[in-house]
Amino acid sequence: MGEEEGTVRLGLRLPTSLHHRLQEQARENHRSLNSEIVAVLNHGLEAEQKSEERFKTLGARIEEMQIDVQRLKEGLLPRLPAGTMDLIENAYLVAASRGKTLADLLPEALRKVVNEEEPK
């Protein structure tokens, strides 16, 4: 059997235990050892790329939330009880880590303060 177009022959040294694990996994997935190694490598590389994209997205969301926190500080600080801004900042971090918005985590009473119009 000749090499397929677009493939590279590679000599690879593996720990015996990893070789056995890959052989077992290949049997379970009804693949050759070579196909299993290729599948595992592809899966790992795709997962790494997705993680990098998630980190970039999360970083951008955190930056947006920091801007929102600054706006809250500037507009609401005079009307909020002491220590409330620390709670809001922590809530933003928790929200970002859970893929939610701050409004998802704010208690109802604080939501009313945040959404309340400026006094006339």
105 vs 87: CA distance, rounded Å: 11
Burial 55-70 (b: 16+ CB within 10 A, else e): eeeeeebeeebeeebe
pTM: predicted TM-score of the whole model, two decimal places: 0.47
66 near 55, Cβ under 8 Å?
no
**pLDDT confidence of residue 1:** 42
**pLDDT confidence of residue 64:** 83
**pLDDT confidence of residue 120:** 42
Low pLDDT (below 50) residues in the chain: 1-2, 117-120
**pLDDT confidence of residue 51:** 86
